[in-house]
Amino acid sequence: WLIYMILSILFYIYGEDFIFIDALYLRIVTAFTVGYGDMYPVTNAGKLLNCLFIIIDTVTIGFITTKVMDYILRFRELQKEKKE
């Protein structure tokens, strides 16, 4: 996931002419909130890739959340079994 984020930041730097901090900001905001609207890609390729980024980010965050919740629930279940 880190490599994917780095490559997408590089796309914004070279494909959309953003400076590093703006590209980083846009990626993080897009990954976690689907953007505020203050910055956005302007090229057709940028818009298309941004849609793809949103889908990948949503699936990835959902997968991570599921794994964390599964771990927490299993841990609680093991704690209950130990008490009994």
Beta strands in the chain (DSSP E): none
Helices 44-83 + 20-33 axis angle, to 10:
50
> pLDDT per residue over 23-64, tens digit each?
999 999 988 887 788 888 999 999 999 999 999 999 999 999
Q: Are 64 and 70 in contact (CB under 8 A)?
A: no
d(CA 51, CA 30): 10
14 pLDDT above the threshold of 90: yes
Mean pLDDT of all residues belonging to the chain: 91
Residue 55 has a pLDDT of 92
| Distance of alpha carbon 34 from alpha carbon 42, whole angstroms | 16
10 has pLDDT over 90: yes
The percent of residues above 90 in pLDDT, for the chain, comes to: 75
**Which pTM does this prediction carry?**
0.76
